[in-house]
Amino acid sequence: MSLGRSAVSLEALLTFFGILVAVLALARPVQRHSLILFAPPWRISFALLVSLALIVCRDAPFGIPPPFGWPLPPVLFGLSLASFLIPVLVALWTWASWHRAKLTRRRIERVEIFLAALREREFDEVERIVRRNRQRLKGLPPRASSALFKPEMVKALSDPHSFVHLELLADLKLLDSLENRHGAIGAVVRELLRSEASPLRSAVLDRYGGLEHNVHSAEHRALIEKTFQNPEWYFQSSAHYPLVISAMEALRSGKLDAEYNNSGRDYEARQGTSRRANCPIYLAAGAEALAIEAALEQRSSGTFTAPIYFRYSSPCRRSRASMRKSGATRATMVSSQHLSPTSFTRLPHTSRICRA
């Protein structure tokens, strides 16, 4: 029994406690919030107290014989084994709870981890929690849901090619439960237009071209069909508004004038990577076209409000098309009677609409 006593002693228990405290102290604020949320400290505390009581009963000189006439050696062995197994099993139980990251009704009311992630700019743990609780996030308190759909949060999770926010917004019940659903839709749509790994971008390029070897995965296809190609979702989310406003802002800023007016035929190229593959105006217009096509195919009774003005008048005002042909400058509008996936590529281009 000397081996059992030396293996599970008061010193060993204190060492175990010290390691746990060190791990908690070294954890980053976001990780600490996650541990406290999913691995309540009372579990480990209770296990340590029980283990301490068993060690005291085993080693203290009380002079009390074992109950029921049990022999002393097996009782001492049982106390040593129990004082070792209880903290180990509770530690494994705690780790399993943290790994599952299940947001119960009680936990969902205190998800300060979203706010901590925004302060610390660390979002890996947030993505893990969100992915494991997609069906439970409808009960998020307003403060937490607002933090979850902050533009900084959306951008941070989109950079590693994770579009969990769009997956969440595809659920109309969750969308309706948001305190500021239009702000959430706006943040997500703007990021979809910016990111090169966006499922919306791959859908537009797959339909209208712009990237020769574009990959529109089955997962991305299913996500776009549940959102932008779902008329019910498109109407209720008002996704057309951030699409139009994003395109208008890109036009009004003037930052793209020089690039667009000097791009030549490269913007309309079918082979390789054309300029329009990363054009926010082209992608926004393409997303609207996908939604309209889907609505027509499904015979939706809704009304689409897509200002054609921004596609013609505003680009023409910013266009500086003045290519000289035979010493003369000419400007003609692209005929809307001959629109096709090829001519559609000219729509958002400032110099392609007013072509010289």
User: Mind listing the pLDDT tens digit for each residue in 139-152?
Assistant: 777 777 778 888 88
46 & 157 share domain: no
Give whichever of 8-12, 44-48, 127-131, 268-272 has the largest mean pLDDT: 44-48
Same domain, 165 and 145: yes
Q: Are residues 229 and 342 both part of a single domain?
A: yes
Convert the pLDDT of each residue in 197-218 to its tens digit.
889 999 999 888 888 788 888 9
For the ranges 48-62, 258-272, 280-294, 330-344, which has the lowest average pLDDT?
Answer: 330-344
Instruction: Indicate the number of domains in the chain.
Output: 3
Whether the CB-CB separation of 192 and 166 falls below 8 Å is answered with yes
Q: State the residue for tokens 């791959």.
A: 202
Answer yes or no: is 106 within a domain: no
Q: Tell me the DSSP string of 179-211.
A: TTHHHHHHHHHHHHHH-TT-HHHHHHHHHH-SB
Residues 139 and 265 in one domain: no
Q: Is the model more confident about 349 or about 117?
A: 117
Mean pLDDT of 96-109: 82
142 and 244 together in one domain: no
C-alpha to C-alpha distances, 62 to 1, 11, 58, 59, 66, nearest whole angstrom: 18, 20, 9, 9, 11
> Quick one: 167 and 86 in the same domain?
no
Residue 105 lies inside a defined structural domain of this protein: no
In angstroms, rounded to a whole number, what is the distance separating the alpha carbons of residues 112 and 180?
19
Residues 6+ apart with CB under 8 A from 198: 158, 163, 191, 192
Task: Please indicate, yes or no, whether residues 138 and 182 belong to a single structural domain of this protein.
Answer: yes
Same domain as 343, residue 214: yes
* 142, 162, 196 - which closes a domain: 196
Structural domain of 143 = 111-196
